[in-house]
Amino acid sequence: MRIMTSIIVLGALGASAALGGGLSVLRRRRRRRARAVYRAHLESALADGILTPEEIAELESLRSAAELSEREVRMVGLALYRRALRDVAADARVTAEEEQRLRRLQMQLGLTEADLAADRDQVRRVRLLAEIEKGRLPTVEPPLDLAADEACHWVVRATLCAPLALGRTEPVGLRFRPDGAEPFRVDGERAALGPDPAILPLDLGVLVVTSRRVIFRGAKRRADWPYARLAELMLYRDGLALEVEGARGPRLLLVEDAELTAAILLHAARRRRAEAKGALPAP
């Protein structure tokens, strides 16, 4: 009899737990649906870039009716901001209008810099690309001595490489000319140099982009490539190729953030070319 009673009690407890678990699942689903509805209304309100007082009141009414917490609303806003950030950064070319739109979106969603802490590197990268698009290159501390009037714009770890055989098929990349005017872009087919068995790493060091030249400083090799001799820049997924006048074959470099490095290098080379022609005053 005692055993039977225990079985009945355990069965009741199991049914109660199952019922509680089912209710918990239903509550989570209900809150997910509520957040999805709120997100859809928020996206619609922000579609024209303007959040009117009427739209704000409607969103608050919807939030209140769905009993969404401030944290849930903030997470919805953060998801929308991150999607916009990815879209803007996708082509590695951030216009002034895109940068302004991102800043306005951050303000409209009520997101602080602390909210964007996990996205800080991406936000910083997007803002840097926006400055480069405007022709304002960064200035960083050089790891080596430069000429008195030479500015250092970028320093990145790099691996100098060479093709194992001359005349082989060249990897597919995006071409840019220092004397050209085409905008910097990253959309298009680009191969990766790193996995290519025909690419031989020669030396590990740093690549320094200055206002006058590109410098490689490695443990075994050193090279300086003035912009006056730079004929072409090729962008790959993980690196660059520099066609230098008077050199046999391209100079291949695996670099961190090849897109950002290429954008700074191309703008620096074009500015130097323009200065040499007298089209721009020297900085």
- Integer Cα distance of 104 and 82 in angstroms: 14
More confident call, 240 vs 182: 240
pLDDT value, residue 14:
55
> What is the band of 11 on the pLDDT scale with cuts at 50, 70, 90?
low
Percent of the chain's residues with pLDDT above 70: 88
Dist. CA 252–CA 144, nearest whole Å: 22
Q: What is the reported pLDDT for 144? A: 94
Six token digits for residue 274: 């323009």
More confident residue, 164 or 131: 131
Q: Please give the average per-residue pLDDT across 170-179, as a whole number.
A: 91
Query: pLDDT for 13-48, tens place per residue?
Result: 555 555 555 657 777 788 888 889 989 999 899 988
Give whichever of 43-47, 82-86, 264-268 has the largest mean pLDDT.
264-268
Cα(60)–Cα(66) distance, integer angstroms: 10
Q: How far is CA 263 from CA 11, 142, 166, in A?
A: 68, 18, 28
- Separation of alpha carbons 137 and 130, rounded Å: 10
Contact 102, 89 (CB under 8 A): no
Residue 9 banded pLDDT, cuts 50, 70, 90: very low
The pTM is what?
Answer: 0.78
Rounded to the nearest integer, the mean pLDDT of the chain is 87
For residue range 205-259, list pLDDT tens digits in order. Answer: 999 999 999 999 999 999 999 999 999 999 999 999 999 998 888 899 999 999 9
DSSP conformation class of 235: E
Q: What whole-number percentage of the chain has pLDDT above 90?
A: 52
Contacts of residue 238, defined as CB under 8 A and 6 or more positions apart, other chains included, come to 192, 193, 194, 254, 255, 258
Q: Is 209 within 8 Å of 264 (Cβ atoms)? A: yes
pLDDT, position 248: 82
| Full DSSP string of 113-177 | TTTTGGGHHHHHHHHHHHHHHTT-------SS---TT--EEEEEEEEEEEESSTTPPPPP-EEE-
Which residues, in sequence order, are bridge partners of residue 210? 152
